[in-house]
Chains A and B, each alone.
Chain A
Amino acid sequence: MLSRTADNLFWMARHIERAENIARVLDVAHRTSLLPLDVEGTEAYLWYAPLNITGCAAGYEEKHGLARASAVTHYMALDPDNPSSIYSCLKMARENARTARSAITSEMWEIINATWLELNRLSKQMDDEKFSNFFDWVKDRSHLFRGVTLGTIIKDIALSFIKLGTFLERADNTARLLDVKYHILLTEKENVGSSADYYQWGSLLKSVSAFEAYRKIYRDVISPLRVAELLILRDDMPRSLHACMNEVEAALIEINGSAGKEARRSAGELHAALHFGRIEDIFKDGLHEYLTHFLGQAYSLSQIIRDAYLARQDRFETLPISRAVQTQQQITS
């Protein structure tokens, strides 16, 4: 497969997954804001979380100043100036799909294109009450895209690159979500075990569609330790770090190729740590430290993948350049 095509498939999947994750983050922020939380400047405090998760706090502050519910929501959902807004992500996903058009099925393209057209229609008539439906719509479109992808594309490396993008992005997001939420929640020491705490953790779980899974697996009160275990180490939980890295590692093995040796090694290492990790150890060293470390490793893995498969320039160096230059000189002379 063409490197440029692989690059576009990878990013198409990442952008769609990212749009879904932003919708999830905003959705949970909305739910949380409806709950009692006695902190000074509650609104700003709460609404920095989604900005921090997606790394767009600086851009927001420059434009709007203090975090306010409606401004943050709009900035993260629909602002074309924000490169990680849902709007921008879906726009870029469409550009990626358009560029890789011949490598995806027409059904996939239609979903992405129709999503983009609908987004432009929706964004013109959006108001605060409609956002909740909007987030559901974004999630639905993402689910639909994944379903259509699996239902129509042949199982070759195009699909592997799509999976790679999807699950690297998802792992990144789950780690960020857990990190930021954990900070907010832990400031409420006096609330531990209270009903407020229950709702806070509950909304975090809901944001990653894990509430029902938690109830099913633990059948007990919601505790930070178990939430972290579920979202980090359980491989049967579709949005956990472990489950995501399962998929990433499998995709890299499918893609194969000698250039990907380092990528496979690095993914294998990350995966093994999750596979054999214990939640008690993670908490002993500090959850925040653990997640920061994970995010760094995930980032460097995606750089390695880029260098191995997706970039064009780097591959040029593997060629005997001097001879290529000579050939060119012969032509011009």
Chain B
Amino acid sequence: MDRNVIKHFNEMYENNAEIRDIYQQYQHWQSQLSTGTLERKSTEAELLFRRLGITFAVYGESSGSERLIPFDIVPRIFSGSEWRRLELGIKQRVRALNAFLHDIYHEQEIIKAGVISKEQVLGNAMYRPEMIGVDLPNQVYAQIAGIDLVRVSENDFYVLEDNLRTPSGVSYMLENRNTMMRLFPELFSSHAVEPVEHYPQMLLDTLRESAHVSNPTIVVMTPGSYNSAYFEHAFLASQMGVELVEGQDLFVHQQKVYMHTTEGPQQVHVIYRRVDDDFLDPLVFRPDSTLGVPGLLDAYCSGNVSLTNGVGTGVADDKSTYFYVPDMIKFYLGETPLLSNVPTWRLSEKDDLKYALANLPELVVKEVQGSGGYGMLVGPTSSKAEIEAYKQRILKDPANFIAQPTLALSTCPTFVESGVAPRHVDLRPFVLSGKDIRLVAGGLTRVALSEGSLVVNSSQGGGTKDTWVLED
């Protein structure tokens, strides 16, 4: 791909001139605002977020520092029909991913059929042999999935990555909407925006369905109040009316899990855990973990407690498995993938490696296990020295990297210091799988606030926007 011909699709202005239909009404409203209104509202939004304490901790910064994720007051708008199309593709993808997870811990049909190699699955560091033969309710492993999408043109969306471990950000989706309604009530009377407020209820239903018993006690498990997503953990627990526990609040007795309560031990049936596999159970995984519960995995494998998401989902969402998701859709569902993957070079392959090394300035290179935008190379915006240093890293362990073309991510108008200007965005819808697959319309839009930047992660200075799906 020649980067000189990359044209960024602007979601508000078609060909950077005409306003797309879906934004007409909003743009009209915005043009009527008196000068300074947006700035005033933006400040007001920041105060609201700070007062609500919607903060996150940044790893590696001075201890206990709390930062706000910048909130942008210009909404991102989809039409109902645009969304329906995406929704179908997202559901299809998640269904296939769950089928894949069930398969690789049971019959391993996909390996037998030669669609995906044995090494790719069983040799993956995130594959958990402990899970072989363990039956989960609804055969669902990833009850909560975050599918990251980017848009490159009017009709073309790509899946950037699947998040099947502990995807976060849904509280921002909810608080963003809340804040927009508080700041601009008039916009909601002039636009029929599909609601997202019922997400916690849908999550609770999904958690209930993931239980082995009919009237389960459900908890949210957090690594603690210093975790970067603690606000979200507490938020979801209180929205669902369930306890927010830490590992120290739980213990296992005769393969059952209990929490310490003021009335004595109480059995727990479903744990919506926001703790990574590695830290769940010091008897099986990292022995130095103080965040987990000794014996938890045994209780889980015995069917006495449900963990959401399940253990061992990481094998399906790492960036080398990503390559095979379209094949999974064909294999398990017999369907044509509705959403495309980004073309991907796996640097474990000789030819791919050769191509990538020759074209690094045009490519985006990521670690197979990386997340949060850490440790990636964005070729077009990197210096020669940075590219050279990264090249050395690749050569040390090529299999640990994948390369993709630098996508022409779409832009949305965003309120920044210089006024309203286009900035790159992505979208993370949150997909809930229980007896059915459910999702609220939209998701979390992340926006790269610096001009030209393609990295939207909040840990890298990205912000968020309210995402609207308008009823047709």
Interface residues of A (CB under 8 A from B): 1-6, 95, 98-99, 101-103, 106, 109-110, 113-114, 117, 157, 161, 255, 257-259, 309-310, 312, 315-316, 318-320, 323-324, 327-328, 330-332
Residues of A near B230 (CB, < 8 A) are: 98
Contacts A3-B260, A110-B53, A117-B50 given; 8 further ones with Cβ under 8 A? Answer: A2-B261, A4-B249, A4-B260, A5-B244, A101-B234, A102-B242, A316-B260, A324-B251
Query: Are A259 and B295 touching (Cβ within 8 A)?
Result: no
Number of residues in B with C-beta < 8 Å to the partner? 38
Query: Are B262 and A1 touching (Cβ within 8 A)?
Result: yes
Interchain Cβ contacts under 8 Å between A and B, 29 examples: A1-B261, A2-B245, A3-B261, A4-B245, A4-B248, A4-B249, A4-B260, A98-B53, A98-B230, A98-B234, A101-B244, A102-B242, A103-B244, A106-B52, A106-B238, A109-B52, A113-B52, A113-B53, A255-B262, A259-B264, A312-B260, A315-B264, A315-B265, A316-B251, A323-B254, A324-B252, A327-B253, A327-B298, A331-B284
Residues of A near B242 (CB, < 8 A) are: 102
Query: Are B51 and A110 touching (Cβ within 8 A)?
Result: yes
Residues of B near A2 (CB, < 8 A) are: 243-245, 249, 259-262
Residue of A nearest to B50 (CB): A117
Query: Are B238 and A3 touching (Cβ within 8 A)?
Result: no
Set A109, A255, A318, A323: member contacting B53, Cβ < 8 A: A109
Residue of B nearest to A105 (CB): B238
Residues of B near A1 (CB, < 8 A) are: 243, 261-263
Min C-beta distance of A254 to chain B, whole Å: 11
Set A102, A316, A332: member contacting B238, Cβ < 8 A: A102
Residue of A nearest to B246 (CB): A4
Min C-beta distance of A5 to chain B, whole Å: 7
Min C-beta distance of B48 to chain A, whole Å: 10
Residues of A near B260 (CB, < 8 A) are: 2-4, 312, 315-316
Residue of B nearest to A94 (CB): B53
Residues of A near B254 (CB, < 8 A) are: 323-324, 327
Residues of A near B442 (CB, < 8 A) are: none
Interface residues of B (CB under 8 A from A): 50-53, 220, 225, 230-231, 233-235, 237-238, 242-246, 248-249, 251-255, 259-265, 283-284, 294-295, 297-298
Bound complex: CA of A255 vs CA of B263, how far in Å? Answer: 9
Residue of B nearest to A117 (CB): B50
Bound complex: CA of A257 vs CA of B264, how far in Å? Answer: 9
Residues of A near B231 (CB, < 8 A) are: 101
Query: Are A327 and B249 touching (Cβ within 8 A)?
Result: no
Bound complex: CA of A259 vs CA of B262, how far in Å? Answer: 8
Bound complex: CA of A259 vs CA of B251, how far in Å? Answer: 19
Query: Are A312 and B248 touching (Cβ within 8 A)?
Result: yes
Residue of B nearest to A160 (CB): B262
Residues of B near A95 (CB, < 8 A) are: 225
Residue of B nearest to A320 (CB): B253
Residue of B nearest to A99 (CB): B225
Set B237, B259, B262, B294: member contacting A157, Cβ < 8 A: B262
